[in-house]
């Protein structure tokens, strides 16, 4: 038996198929992964993401610490509540984890990191924090529920107190605010409008049931993966890891090079890599033939070289197979995929594949 979130009994009661995910017993789907995917794109769904690791950083040195720890720069966060997506790098410029950090007050930042990397993340963060005036506090007593989809704002408001309406309405994209016991971030992992709500574990079941009573359907990890893939969002451990730099993983945009005198872990190696030019990059692929792209399938770029699919699946929204692939930088508009010995054609496209329920593909793909 694995670890269980405060919502485990709810999942079982709702007919979830439970699988192991990084040591947690989590719902993969509640019947149909495809229907759950469409539910989020067309209406609204809720995800139990309580397995994710919430870490609070408190103290006068929190900002200085995070400016050293993270490749993105929290000094960019001028307004309270503003969030930032960043990689946490090792000295070799490899990705230890990717995370979201919320700037709540000058002496309080909240980070959400992956559950699969919890132990190494906490060890690393604590180690680096010793030189700073900051307390690192994991918050395992908190649950986290993502409410995602075009109907997310109206459904969330119906469940929260009336006093929360104004807060939800005023919350801008990539901002968070506190309403009583609830920490509400307008963030997510689906490419849809929506929220991630952090709340005390003992309130989680009631909140989940009230959302369900409003027509918010439970969504499993299966659909979470196809939604994030369509939305062009990386998955740690699959699309990047400690041997990949953000420059090769499509995450160059998350590195804050300026100010040039900010010293952050991994900066030196990253600057050298930027000067030498990386040989690999992460691109989006759309299969032009029938079949489904899968992780680790070989990508062949005639006359250029080879690469590998890092995340591949069937896109329920587009009705086509899509993937992220790590490929030679000189890849053109097309490549071949080795699918069980058959060579199939895929088009190279800009990410994301889908945004706010609509295809972002060029018309001829």
Closer residue to another protein (CB): 277 or 290: 290
Do 307 and 301 touch, CB atoms closer than 8 A? yes
Closer residue to another protein (CB): 11 or 29: 29
Q: From the CB of 159, what's the least distance to another protein, in Å?
A: 29
Q: From the CB of 18, what's the least distance to another protein, in Å?
A: 13
DSSP type of residue 3: B
Structure tokens at 178: 């506190």
Residue from 13, 50, 38, 7 nearest 208 by CA: 7
Closer residue to another protein (CB): 86 or 313: 313
Q: From the CB of 342, what's the least distance to another protein, in Å?
A: 9
Closer residue to another protein (CB): 158 or 294: 294
Q: From the CB of 130, what's the least distance to another protein, in Å?
A: 43
**Interface positions with another protein (CB under 8 A):** 28-29, 32-34, 37, 222, 226, 290-292, 294, 313-314, 316, 321, 340
Closer residue to another protein (CB): 94 or 316: 316
Closer residue to another protein (CB): 36 or 73: 36
Q: Which long-range contacts (CB under 8 A, 24 or more apart) does 313-316 make?
A: 313/225, 313/226, 313/229, 314/226, 315/226, 315/229, 315/230, 315/353, 315/354, 316/34, 316/37, 316/38, 316/41, 316/226
CA–CA dist 248, 327 (Å, integer): 9
- Region of 242 please: left (phi>0), alpha (psi -120 to 50) or beta: alpha
Q: From the CB of 289, what's the least distance to another protein, in Å?
A: 11
How many other CB atoms are found less than 10 A from the CB of residue 41?
23
Q: From the CB of 222, what's the least distance to another protein, in Å?
A: 6
Q: From the CB of 185, what's the least distance to another protein, in Å?
A: 28
Do 78 and 123 touch, CB atoms closer than 8 A? no
Do 298 and 327 touch, CB atoms closer than 8 A? no
Residue from 137, 270, 269, 159 nearest 209 by CA: 159
Closer residue to another protein (CB): 292 or 300: 292
């Amino acid at each position: 038996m694995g670890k269980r979130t405060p919502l485990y009994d709810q999942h079982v009661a709702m007919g979830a198929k439970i699988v192991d995910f990084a040591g947690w017993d989590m719902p993969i789907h509640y019947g149909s992964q495809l229907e759950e995917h469409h539910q989020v794109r067309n209406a609204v769904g809720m995800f139990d993401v309580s397995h994710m690791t919430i870490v609070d950083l408190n103290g006068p040195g929190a900002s200085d610490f995070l400016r050293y720890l993270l490749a993105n720069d929290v000094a960019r966060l001028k307004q309270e509540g503003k969030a930032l997506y960043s990689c946490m790098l090792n000295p070799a410029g490899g990705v230890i984890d990717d995370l979201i950090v919320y700037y709540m007050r000058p002496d309080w930042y909240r980070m959400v990191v992956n559950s699969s990397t919890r132990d190494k993340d906490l060890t690393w963060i604590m180690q680096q924090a010793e030189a700073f005036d900051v307390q690192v506090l994991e918050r395992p007593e908190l649950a986290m529920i993502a409410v995602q989809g075009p109907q997310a704002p109206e459904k969330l408001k119906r469940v929260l107190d009336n006093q929360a309406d104004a807060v939800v309405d005023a919350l801008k994209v990539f901002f968070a605010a506190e309403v009583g016991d609830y920490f509400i971030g307008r963030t997510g992992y689906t490419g849809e409008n929506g929220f991630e709500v952090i709340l005390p574990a003992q309130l989680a079941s009631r909140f989940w049931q009230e959302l369900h009573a409003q027509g918010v359907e439970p969504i499993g990890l299966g659909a979470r993966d196809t939604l994030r893939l369509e939305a062009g969002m990386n998955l740690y451990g699959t699309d990047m890891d400690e041997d990949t730099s953000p420059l090769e993983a499509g995450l160059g945009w998350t590195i804050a090079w300026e100010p040039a005198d900010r010293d952050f872990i991994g900066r030196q190696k990253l600057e050298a890599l930027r000067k030498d030019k990386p040989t690999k990059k992460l691109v989006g692929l759309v299969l032009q033939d029938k079949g489904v792209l899968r992780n680790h399938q070989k990508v062949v770029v005639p006359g250029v070289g080879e690469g590998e699919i890092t995340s591949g699946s069937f896109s329920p929204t587009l009705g086509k197979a899509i993937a992220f692939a790590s490929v030679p930088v000189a890849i053109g508009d097309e490549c071949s995929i080795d699918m069980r010995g058959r060579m199939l054609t895929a088009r190279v496209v800009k990410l994301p594949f889908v945004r706010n329920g609509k295809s972002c593909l060029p018309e001829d793909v």
